Amino acid sequence: MKLILSILIATTGLCASERNREFETGRDYYMAAEFRKAVASFRPLCDRRNDADACYWTGLSYERLADAGIPFGCRTDAKAHVYLVKAARLAPARLEYRDALFEFLLSTADCSRTALREASAMLSDMSESDPAYRRMRSRLNDERHRNGSPNELLGRLLLAVPRATERVASLPAAALTERGAAGAPSSELVSCRF
């Protein structure tokens, strides 16, 4: 019995030290602004072990990648969202995870139609006695107001053009014909009507 117990302790210690090494490597990459490498270090820990810290740092790393990828960062924002939500669910007592997710949702409201609704749902799940409630409610109201302004609507429209261009460029040539893959020559392009 002692042998089994010592093997379990040794194995658990090895796994914990391996996790710590991978985690610290990811933090070093993050601090050096090498966010792709940080994701490569944190993501396996999150996916394999449901490690809330690793999920949180994976989300932050994807968020920084999206910041660098403007105006095409929305795709990376979706990955950041997945991991920040996972971190908040895995460790609901870690208020910094909840706050990071909330701020992320507000900052991506121009990329996501549902971000403000999700932030509002988070707020409605909170107790009004929570110390962060008033600050978060105020931030949500400010963001709703900002997102509804004419300048913001025009800005979103202007950002939509490069996103739409990127989507069209990634389509196969057959999709760009009038009849699609049904046999139309690929030189016939669909006319765009706005």
All structural domains of the chain with their residue ranges = 10-150
| Lowest-confidence region among 20-29, 125-134, 168-177 | 168-177
Is 128's pLDDT higher than 80?
Answer: yes
Q: Please give the Cα distance from 92 to 77 (Å, whole number).
A: 21
Q: Classify the C-alpha dihedral 27-28-31-35 as positive or negative.
A: negative
Smallest CA-to-CA distance from 56 within 26, 107, 100, 109 is with 100
Return the CATH superfamily for domain 10-150: Tetratricopeptide repeat domain (1.25.40.10)
Residues contacting 112, CB < 8 A, separation 6+: 74, 77, 78, 81, 105
pLDDT tens per residue, range 61-106? 998 887 765 555 566 688 899 999 999 999 999 999 999 999 999 9
CA distances from 123 to 7, 63, 64, 107 (A): 46, 22, 25, 16
Rounded CA separation 108/81 (Å): 9
Per-residue pLDDT tens over the stretch 131-162: 999 999 999 998 888 776 555 555 555 555 55
DSSP state of 180: G
Share of the chain above pLDDT 70, in %: 63
pTM over 0.85: no
